[in-house]
Amino acid sequence: MYAATALLLLLAMGMTLVRALRGPTVFDRILAVNMFGTSTVLMVSVVSFMHHVTDMTDIALIYALLSFTGTIAVLRFVEIDHERREMERAEQEREVLP
Amino acid sequence: MSLLLDVLSWVLLLSGGLLSIVSAFGVLRLPELFQRMHSATILDTLGAGLVLSGLILQAGFTVISFKLFLVFLLLALTTTTAAHALAKSALADGIYPKGIDPEVVRAGLSEGLPGRQRIATDRARERVAPPASPQEDPPPQPSEEGGPPWA
Amino acid sequence: MIAEHAIILVVVLPLLVAPLCVLLGRGTLAWGAATLAVWSSFGLALHLLGRVLEEGVLRYQLGGWAPPVGIEYRLDLAGALVMTIVTAIGAVVLPYSFASVRREIDEHRHAWFYACLLLCFAGLLGITVTGDAFNLFVSLEISSLATYVLVSIGRDRRALTAAFRYLLLGTVGATFYLIGVGFLYQMTGTLNMEDMARILTEARPDGLGPVHSTKTVRAALAFLTVGTFLKIALFPLHVWLPNVYAYAPSVVSAFLSATATKVAILVLLRVFYTVDGKATPFDALPIADTMVPLAIVGALVASFVAIYQRDVKRLLAYSSIAQVGYMAIGIGLATQAGLAASLLHMINHAIMKGTLFLAVGCIVYRVGQTRLEGLRGVGREMPLTSTALVLGGLSLIGVPLTAGFVSKWALLQAVLADSHWIVAALILLSSLLSILYVGQVIHVLLLRKRPPGAAPIQEAPLWMVLPTLVLAIGNLWFGIASDQAAEVSRQAAEFLIREVAP
Amino acid sequence: MGVAIDIILLLFLLSIAFAACVTRNLFSAAMLFGIFSLISATLFVVLDAVDVAMTEAAVGTGVSTILILITLASTGYRVSPRPAGRQVLALAVSVVLGATMVYGTLDMPSLGSPDAPVHTHPIAQYYTEVSPVEMGIPNMVTPLLASYRGYDTLGETAVVFTAGIGVLALIGRRRRKDPLPIVEEFREGGANRHRVLRVISKQLIPPILLYACYVQAHGDFGPGGGFQAGVIFASGLMLFMLLFGVEHARRIIRPVVLEKLIALGLLIYGGVGLVNILQGGAFLDYRTLAHDPQHGLHYGILTIELGVGITVAAVITTIIYSFASHLRDHVMQRTLRLRQGADAAQTSPESGA
């Protein structure tokens, strides 16, 4: 039963992966990575029951904590990049104008 | 009793797995970002909840169950918050849901917020070009309240 | 107690004084602590060398766990020899560094600089003394990482790109080494070098000949060899070296050129002899057939390129590549005489390159640059420095009565004993080329006149000149009283080779 | 079934690696690395390498992605195409490398084979059978890392230490005599536009730090130990930095303190070894620390894990602080320049007239 669930999750991970590869916008990728993180957490928990090594729930916990940090970081840097592009555009405008 | 629990947990696990497929399929096939986000939340909350509660039933009343519950709690908190931030960033970046007038979204975005917390682009524009410029033929200025022309 | 634990203290003292330097925070205090640590390491190393000569291989069980369960420190004569070179160079360089570092590195970075210097030092020593293949990798990482920092810590922006390139190639080299060790571990189940060597000659469990004839072990050897070649800077894997030596701070150039490649050569010897000795790697892989031609081509090309360098430090860097070529020839011959000549050249090259880079550092201290045009006539106004420079240069060429002559002569003899006439001729040719590039430097420094109106120059401060002169006199000493060094390197080579013969 | 999962995961890895090589957008490459690490950690879990999986989880998902992103934010996201000749050379080198590795695996014992030398060598039995009795520690990995091969771990801690010092030496910010004028918008840094995010995520920081302490102390019984704990602790501080800005984070734990902590951790580790020597044992022989050797081992392992944890946490925090401060200064200077440019553009016609 665990194996069946694991396979279903793997299939879901595969589809998410395709979305992460295809984009098209940065936000699609972030969404896909975030969702991939969630499925990994589930996958790790399921596999830990499958192998009867229940220590691994610790790893699932770490993932749940840290993949969130990763997502926020990505969002922050998307914003920074956005502002940077705006600034570059402004610089160019200024060079054209005078 | 134990058989009942087993069957119940299997049902939960499998339905969780199936939901994850549905959710991933949506993320893969739906046409635009906000619809995909909607689909992704299915896994983030319901799918994760089902799978984890299936596992909790298997583990019984142990530390493992507590940890799994923590995982669920964290996922429920973080994924939703992340989704909120993601949507907000996407809107600020100029990506709008289909079939909705951008003007409406923009008005909604900048209306509800105090001046200091307006969205990224407004601020970036202001920062670059300070408002009061007494020049002839100034560059297209964003007006304070109405929002800048989106490039 | 100190005698009992000397073999570990020699490495751990500098390793632990490094964080102490950071805690002290002030440049002068850090310098003092570093100097004390390095000098005590030097003392311990001399003590250890004496004991190895008397008692043979020294062993130490880290954590009290008997190998192969735990890590073993195992010091043979070759290791003790390289350890003495490294600590001696360190002991000379540190007094020198006080003034030089103040001139070349921003003040708030001094404590970090000394910490990294100590880490590099400790890492290099760890390589010489370890008997564990993975522990060797760890030490290699410590020294490499510290080296990247040391190279880029100065004010020269070009050093950053040089260090980055070195970082990439050095990491590739270290990774190759790690892959090789991983493969060997797969086939032997142990990381202890002696244990590996023993298992490699055993029959495989499936009854298909000895373990060392498997494809896995061969691939492992190939990875280990190529990875180490990168660290040695053997032609054509030398591309990282010239810029690193040219743009690093003077102290760092001197220390690295005199120690880092030597230790890397020791790694190669460990791979060839200690780990895989009984399996005779020279039969399993075409090592000799590739190494000697590569080395001799490298020596020629590097000497040739050195002639055209307009920057003294770059010139010396290319000469280092050529000299590494000589050492590689000796190893590639796979004879005891060749190996002994390589080890001897290792000692002598450390001394002469140390002298030269320290002398150039003195010039940098006063003149602030290393381009040949800017150095016209500078030597006349810095008599002591230029004496050292000339001595080092003569030794580099291999003029009789200098250290360089002794080892080159030994190498030629070893080559001729195997009747490789062409190789011998090419070595001579490369030495002729070295006359050209050394002559060029001496010509510019001493025979040309200072441009009119140039500001007068003083001799470098005493604490920089003195260490330089000590090394310069070392060139003469090892050239005249050469028997002792030759004897030690002969014994070391004999020991390594004897490990091969069961 | 396990094999099927292995193969699917490996296929994922392969496709991601390929995509990361092909893409011209470094930002998406960075995100792909994030997924790559997620998958490889899952693979470690499937292979039962719990401690490795934990390390990968702690480092790969958070810290390394963020470092790459900060770097990209201060350099730019696009790569220019390389000349074709170089690409051919790189391809040739990779092919030869791959071929050698495949050649090397031909004679290797198959995965998990009980006849493999790794399992038949006496030390394998020692580690699996004698060690739990000798040490009294259920998690087999911890005594291996912390005691049998504790010297390697000391070396690795020194490597981490070197990395921290290196970053400080190269981009560590000097205390300026004339600090940059602060642009008003940057005074409150971090995710100040995301109020919901701030309020919710703030609640997560204490649990993360607490969990790091749990992992630190729990290494004897489950996966974990100083290294993982250090990374998790640093990730908690990093979350704070992302939410409230690097300047605020620097006021919470000052960089000078971090610098000293980096050194302190390594000194604690090495100090244990020196104490062992003073008590008449070999370097890092913890059995000398107490009358009962097993107690000594426990004390020793706990202490050195603490040292590792302190150094790792301090180094990672230092690295991220330095990178983030660098980025912040970069952006601020750029904004200032832009403003000065705007002022100049305003004043220049007047001066001309």
One-letter amino acid of C118: L
Q: CB under 8 Å to C305, separation ≥6 — which residues?
A: C318
For residue range A26-36, list pLDDT tens digits in order: 888 888 888 88
**Which residues in chain A have their CB less than 8 angstroms from residue D21's CB?**
none
Strand partners, C61: C72
Tokens of B86: 């993601």
**Of the candidates B120, B128, B134, which has its C-beta nearest D338's C-beta?**
B128
**Of the candidates D16, D65, D222, which has its C-beta nearest A70's C-beta?**
D65
Q: CB under 8 Å to B118, separation ≥6 — which residues?
A: B109, B110
- Rounded CA separation B117/C261 (Å): 58
**Which residues in chain A have their CB less than 8 angstroms from residue D12's CB?**
13-14, 17
CA distance A86 to chain D (A): 11
* B127 inside 8 A of chain D by CB: yes
**Contact at CB, D191 and B128, closer than 8 angstroms:** no
Identify the closest residue of chain B to A50 by CA–CA distance. Answer: B55
Name residue, tokens 């969990």: D211
For residue range D166-223, list pLDDT tens digits in order: 999 888 766 666 666 666 666 666 777 778 888 888 888 998 999 999 888 887 777 7
**Which residues in chain B have their CB less than 8 angstroms from residue D197's CB?**
81, 84-85
Chains that touch D (3 or more CB pairs under 8 A): A, B, C
**Which residues in chain B have their CB less than 8 angstroms from residue D346's CB?**
133-135
Strand partners, C58: C75
- Rounded CA separation B56/C454 (Å): 84
**Contact at CB, B27 and A49, closer than 8 angstroms:** no
**Contact at CB, D267 and C20, closer than 8 angstroms:** yes
Percentages helix, strand, coil for chain B (3-state, rounded to 5) are: 70, 0, 30
| Residue A98, helix vs strand vs coil | coil
**Contact at CB, D61 and A51, closer than 8 angstroms:** no
Identify the closest residue of chain D to A56 by CA–CA distance. Answer: D50
Secondary structure element (H or E) that encloses residue A31, with its range: helix A26-50
Q: Are C and A close enough to touch, i.e. 3+ CB pairs under 8 angstroms?
A: no
**Contact at CB, B44 and A19, closer than 8 angstroms:** no
Is-contact C288 C334, C-beta < 8 A?
A: yes
> Which of A55, A86, A89, A92 to mutate to probe the B interface, most B CBs <10 Å?
A86
**Of D333, B78, D104, the residue nearest C179 (C-alpha):** D104
One-letter amino acid of C119: L
* A41 inside 8 A of chain D by CB: no
**Which residues in chain A have their CB less than 8 angstroms from residue D34's CB?**
33, 70, 74
> Which of A10, A18, A35, A72 to mutate to probe the D interface, most D CBs <10 Å?
A72
In this prediction the pTM is 0.90
Identify the closest residue of chain D to A21 by CA–CA distance. Answer: D19
- Rounded CA separation B86/B79 (Å): 10
- Rounded CA separation B123/B109 (Å): 13
N-to-C CA span, chain A:
71
**Which residues in chain D have their CB less than 8 angstroms from residue B127's CB?**
183, 185, 335, 338-339
**Which residues in chain A have their CB less than 8 angstroms from residue D5's CB?**
3, 6-7, 10, 47
Identify the closest residue of chain B to D184 by CA–CA distance. Answer: B127
* B78 inside 8 A of chain D by CB: yes
Q: Are C and B close enough to touch, i.e. 3+ CB pairs under 8 angstroms?
A: no
One-letter amino acid of A39: S
Q: What are phi and psi of C192, to 5 degrees?
A: -70, 130
Q: Quick one: how many helices (H) and strands (E) in chain D?
A: 16, 0
Chain-centroid distance, C-alpha C416: 26
For residue range C266-276, list pLDDT tens digits in order: 998 888 888 77
* A8 inside 8 A of chain D by CB: no
**Of C308, C342, C493, the residue nearest C413 (C-alpha):** C342
**Of D142, D158, D143, the residue nearest D54 (C-alpha):** D142
Strand partners, C203: C210
- Rounded CA separation C331/A64 (Å): 54
**Of B81, B98, B148, the residue nearest B118 (C-alpha):** B148
Q: Is D195 left (phi over 0), alpha (psi -120 to 50) or beta?
A: alpha
**Of the candidates A3, A29, A55, which has its C-beta nearest D222's C-beta?**
A55
pLDDT in tens, chain D (353 residues): 678 888 888 999 999 988 888 887 788 888 888 888 888 888 888 888 888 888 888 888 778 888 888 888 877 766 666 667 778 888 898 899 999 999 888 888 777 777 787 888 888 888 888 887 877 777 778 888 888 888 999 999 999 999 999 999 888 766 666 666 666 666 666 777 778 888 888 888 998 999 999 888 887 777 778 888 999 999 999 989 888 888 888 888 888 899 999 999 999 999 999 998 888 888 888 888 888 888 888 888 889 999 999 999 999 999 999 988 888 888 788 778 777 776 766 665 544 43
* C179 inside 8 A of chain D by CB: yes
Cβ count near C455 (within 10 Å):
7
Cβ count near D278 (within 10 Å):
10
**Of the candidates A14, A61, A73, which has its C-beta nearest D242's C-beta?**
A73
Is the bond preceding C68 in cis, omega lying within 30 degrees of 0?
yes
Q: What are phi and psi of D78, to 5 degrees?
A: -110, 145
Is the bond preceding D83 in cis, omega lying within 30 degrees of 0?
no
- Rounded CA separation C320/C328 (Å): 12
For residue range D63-86, list pLDDT tens digits in order: 888 888 888 887 776 666 666 777
**Contact at CB, D194 and B85, closer than 8 angstroms:** yes
pLDDT in tens, chain B (151 residues): 688 888 888 899 899 999 999 999 988 888 888 888 888 888 788 888 999 998 888 888 888 888 889 889 888 888 888 888 888 888 877 777 777 777 766 666 654 444 334 444 454 454 454 444 444 443 444 333 333 333 2
ipTM of the complex: 0.88
Per-block mean pLDDT, blocks of 10 residues, chain C (502 long): 84 92 87 93 92 88 84 89 92 91 86 93 93 92 93 88 91 93 88 85 72 82 90 86 90 91 90 73 72 89 90 91 90 85 90 91 86 83 88 89 88 86 88 90 85 79 89 87 84 78 46
One-letter amino acid of B91: L
Q: Is B24 exposed, middle or buried (0-12, 13-18, 19+ CB in 10 A)?
A: buried
CA distance A91 to chain B (A): 8
- Rounded CA separation D242/A84 (Å): 18
Partner D, chain A 48-87, Cβ-Cβ below 8 Å:
48, 51, 53, 55-56, 58-59, 61-63, 65-70, 72-77, 79-81, 83-84, 87
**Which residues in chain A have their CB less than 8 angstroms from residue B70's CB?**
61
- Rounded CA separation C113/C22 (Å): 9
One-letter amino acid of D56: E
pLDDT computed for residue D158 by the predictor: 94
Chains that touch A (3 or more CB pairs under 8 A): B, D
Q: CB under 8 Å to B81, separation ≥6 — which residues?
A: A68, D196, D197, D200, D201
Chains that touch B (3 or more CB pairs under 8 A): A, D
**Contact at CB, A20 and D215, closer than 8 angstroms:** no
* B120 inside 8 A of chain D by CB: yes
Name residue, tokens 């420095």: C385
**Which residues in chain C have their CB less than 8 angstroms from residue D145's CB?**
none
CA angle D104, D107, D110 (to 5 degrees): 105
Is-contact C433 C361, C-beta < 8 A?
A: no
Interhelix angle A57-96/D50-58, rounded to 10 degrees, is: 20
**Of the candidates A15, A34, A49, which has its C-beta nearest B82's C-beta?**
A34
**Contact at CB, B123 and D185, closer than 8 angstroms:** yes
**Which residues in chain D have their CB less than 8 angstroms from residue C161's CB?**
none
For residue range A46-94, list pLDDT tens digits in order: 888 888 877 778 888 888 888 888 888 888 888 877 777 777 777 777 6
Secondary structure element (H or E) that encloses residue C73, with its range: strand C72-75
Identify the closest residue of chain D to B89 by CA–CA distance. Answer: D194
Tokens of B45: 């909350």
**Which residues in chain D have their CB less than 8 angstroms from residue A6's CB?**
5
**Contact at CB, D100 and C223, closer than 8 angstroms:** yes
| Residue C308, helix vs strand vs coil | coil
**Of D25, B52, D16, the residue nearest A14 (C-alpha):** D16
- Rounded CA separation C344/C490 (Å): 8
pLDDT computed for residue C419 by the predictor: 77
pLDDT computed for residue D42 by the predictor: 86
One-letter amino acid of C54: E
- Rounded CA separation D42/A42 (Å): 10
